[in-house]
Amino acid sequence: MAASSNEPSVAEIVQKVRRIQIVASRAVDDLFAGEYHSVFRGRGMEFDEVREYQPGDEVRTIDWNVTARNGAPFVKRYREERELTVLFVVDVSASGVFGSKDRSKLELAVEVAALLMFSALKNNDKVGLILFAGDVLRYLPPRKGKASVLRLLRELVAARPVAGETRVDAALEFLTRVQRRKAVVFLVSDFLGDGWERPLRIARARHDVVAITVDDPRERALPDVGFVTLEDAETGERVEVDLSHRGLRTAFERRARERERRLEEALRRTGVDRLPVRTDEPYLKSLHRFFRMRERRMR
């Protein structure tokens, strides 16, 4: 069956994946590999070796059984178990098509996810993907290797926005069922839906969850441009409004500030770190700020 005119061809998807891959790989090589490695920890410490005691070694690390057998002190050595499982839980609901700048929210989400995926690849981590809108649409279990990351990126690039209610809670409940062992979870969404705070708290109890909140400036303030027709991307509802009306713009901004306040407080209550990205700002700056915040907290 031929693809519709609104859907990208296979060649277009491959070309876009290649472009994103080049940009993300360069950024990882130049900037992020060390920062990613330092702020996301493995599952703990695992035994490495036993060796003879050397001046300066901690007395607490002495292996008394080996010491007794050899007649000389030996110590246990451990190393950090670095391998991580990383899951990207990405919102592909129709609200993601909105964008008043050079890219839509969904395009921004894909670019940020790609950068973090290649950071995980550089660290030899397993990487998986959950796509959701009103329900979970696609699940690719975590795997290692460049071929696996490129497949995830193709799925992201090819994802078509889905109309209807956004169900972050459904995605989190699915995550809790399929991922039993601890993972780093990047939850990428504009968080326009409700009812996700409790399942997020449950997910946070098991995993290291980072909420990547995707935003556009026109969702915070409307321009004074007269009559326009607005369409809700998720319901299809249309309404004509006069944006020259100052009271309407003020009410919109007030609601946007309240929505932002509720989001910030909910994430704080759940103990989930937030990485905010906006379509009108370079996301590399946001990532650097996020990594620095995590590093300061871990010292």
Residue 212 belongs to domain with CATH number: 3.40.50.410
Non-local (6+) Cβ contacts of 263 within 8 A are 191, 213
Residue 257 placed within a domain: yes
Q: Do 64 and 157 have their domain in common? A: no
Torsion, Cα 199 143 211 154, to 10 degrees, reads -120
Both tokens assigned to 174 = 């699915």
Q: Do 69 and 205 have their domain in common? A: no
Residue 3's pLDDT is 39
Q: Do 145 and 220 have their domain in common? A: yes
Q: Do 109 and 129 have their domain in common? A: yes
Half-sphere exposure of 139 (CA within 13 A, CB side): 12
For residues 213 and 156, give the distance between their C-alpha atoms in angstroms, rounded to a whole number. 17
Number of separate domains in the chain = 2
For residues 176 and 66, give the distance between their C-alpha atoms in angstroms, rounded to a whole number. 42
Residue 2's pLDDT is 36
Residue 57's pLDDT is 83
For residues 276 and 185, give the distance between their C-alpha atoms in angstroms, rounded to a whole number. 15
Residue 223 placed within a domain: yes
Which residues on adjacent β-strands are paired with residue 215? 278
Phi-psi region of 56 (alpha: psi -120 to 50; beta: other; left: phi over 0): left
Highest mean pLDDT: which range of 4-13, 19-28, 114-123, 156-165: 114-123
Residue 292's pLDDT is 87
Q: Do 28 and 145 have their domain in common? A: yes
Which range has the worst mean pLDDT, 96-100, 145-149, 228-232? 228-232
Predicted TM-score (pTM) above 0.75: yes
Q: Do 178 and 282 have their domain in common? A: yes
What is the extent of the structural domain holding 64?
44-81
Residue 194's pLDDT is 86
Q: Do 144 and 282 have their domain in common? A: yes
Helix, strand, coil percent content, the chain, rounded in steps of 5: 45, 25, 30
